[in-house]
Amino acid sequence: MAKLQLNDVRKSFGAVEVIKGVTMEIRTGEFMVFVGPSGCGKSTLLRLIAGLEEITSGTLAFDDQIVNNLVPSKRGIAMVFQSYALYPHMTVFENMSFGLQLAGADKRERRRRVDAAAEMLQLTPYLERLPRQLSGGQRQRVAIGRAIVRDPKVFLFDEPLSNLDAALRVATRIEIAKLHRSMHNTTMVYVTHDQVEAMTLADRICVLRDGLVEQIGTPLELYKKPKSIFVAGFIGSPKMNFLSGRFSHVHNVHTIGIRAEHLEIAGRGEWSGTVVHSEMLGSDSYIYVDLGASEPLIVRENGTSRHRPGEVVRISPTAGHIHHFDAEGRAIDSVELRGVA
């Protein structure tokens, strides 16, 4: 197990600075997830932790020991990539044990570690199969098992589920969550562009934007108390609704935000608009309403919606669930608002 400390870490590729000064701590045994849009630097930051890229400036420490110049093999890390990177001519057992063999582990120790990892990942029936005889989800579990047998201090995952279909992503996500619970002393750092993965797996989430940390917190902290419009719009599906102009001026702020579940279509609603689209998902429905704002408002209703395109409806936000943002997109809390008032 290891605690990771990043202090003003920067990474440049030539004249382009990709990581622009990241300072954060990843706690011992924590499951930390890096999220953000494409190009925000999350995979680069993971590669800096792994030692696959050289840090331009700043320091990276594992348990207070600076590891900037330590080669990956000496850092006590194991990495699982988006591509499975399995040897096609080796069996599952051979793939999982190959790293131990290179490290000089004897045959009995290799068998013990691989059997334990295979049981944990439900791979025991497949140990003598070749990768081509496995499904995508099974191959990814083999890649994870290959990392487990090394007994690392830190697990690094670089978008490991992005090559899987929706059903396999859910199943493998559950396996990774179970893995974390069973290896609670192992620190895990996980990169994804999928905020559902982030919300369901993370102890804490680090939202990155243009090479900088935008906010770090538990999934619910980021969902309920985003510190910026960027975080509010990135965390949650569908994204938070944002309204400015006449809608926000009555609140004495530049922009207000309301999540879809905190809006109600009712006869005496505060705002009036026209339904432009409805999405029926079975247990929920999403109603898109044109209020004359820059984009339609999304309202979530339980069950199957009765509202159809062209219908005029009235909408009210739920009291206490309106988020306030200033002209720079930063959140304004209720104390600040009282001061303005």
pLDDT in tens, the chain (341 residues): 689 999 999 999 999 999 999 999 999 999 999 999 989 999 999 999 999 999 999 999 999 999 999 998 889 898 888 777 889 999 999 999 998 888 888 999 999 999 998 988 889 999 999 999 998 888 888 988 888 888 888 999 998 888 788 888 888 888 888 888 888 788 999 999 888 899 999 999 999 999 999 999 999 999 999 999 999 999 988 899 999 999 999 889 999 999 999 999 987 888 999 999 999 888 899 999 999 888 999 999 998 888 889 999 999 998 889 999 999 999 997 545 555 44
Q: How far apart are CA 203 and CA 218, in angstroms?
A: 6
The answer to whether residues 181 and 120 belong to one domain is yes
Q: What distances in angstroms separate CA 154 from CA 6, 49, 79, 269, one per listed residue? A: 15, 10, 8, 52
The answer to whether residues 207 and 255 belong to one domain is no
The answer to whether residues 155 and 38 belong to one domain is yes
Residue 91, classed as helix, strand or coil, is: coil
The answer to whether residues 66 and 203 belong to one domain is yes
- Cβ contact 10:18 at 8 Å: no
Alpha-carbon Rg for the chain in angstroms: 24
Selection from 156, 95, 171, 83 nearest residue 131 by Cα: 95
The answer to whether residues 247 and 275 belong to one domain is yes
The answer to whether residues 265 and 213 belong to one domain is no
Residue ending a domain, among 210, 230, 250, is 230
Structural domain span for residue 331: 238-340
Query: Helices 92-102 and 107-120 meet at what angle, rounded to 10?
Result: 130
The answer to whether residues 224 and 266 belong to one domain is no
Question: What are the strands of the beta sheet with 65-66, ordered from one edge?
Answer: 16-26, 4-13, 57-62, 65-66
Full-model pTM: 0.89
Which is it for the CA torsion 241, 166, 208, 205, positive or negative?
A: positive
The answer to whether residues 189 and 81 belong to one domain is yes
The answer to whether residues 35 and 134 belong to one domain is yes
The answer to whether residues 66 and 101 belong to one domain is yes
Which is it for the CA torsion 261, 267, 269, 273, positive or negative?
A: positive
- Cβ contact 72:85 at 8 Å: no
Number of domains present in the structure of the chain:
2
Q: What is the CATH number of the domain that holds 299?
A: 2.40.50.140
Give Cβ neighbours of residue 165 (< 8 Å, ≥ 6 apart): 136
- Name the DSSP letter for residue 190: E
Q: How far apart are CA 67 and CA 93, in angstroms?
A: 32
Backbone angles phi, psi at 26, to 5 degrees: -110, 120
Q: What is the CATH number of the domain that holds 56?
A: 3.40.50.300
The answer to whether residues 165 and 18 belong to one domain is yes
Q: How far apart are CA 257 and CA 107, in angstroms?
A: 60
Q: How far apart are CA 296 and CA 293, in angstroms?
A: 7
Residue ending a domain, among 230, 258, 293, is 230
Q: How far apart are CA 32 and CA 184, in angstroms?
A: 13
The answer to whether residues 291 and 203 belong to one domain is no
The first and second tokens of residue 168, run together, are 């396999």
Backbone angles phi, psi at 128, to 5 degrees: -100, 5
Residue ending a domain, among 168, 199, 230, is 230
Selection from 271, 234, 224, 328 nearest residue 33 by Cα: 234
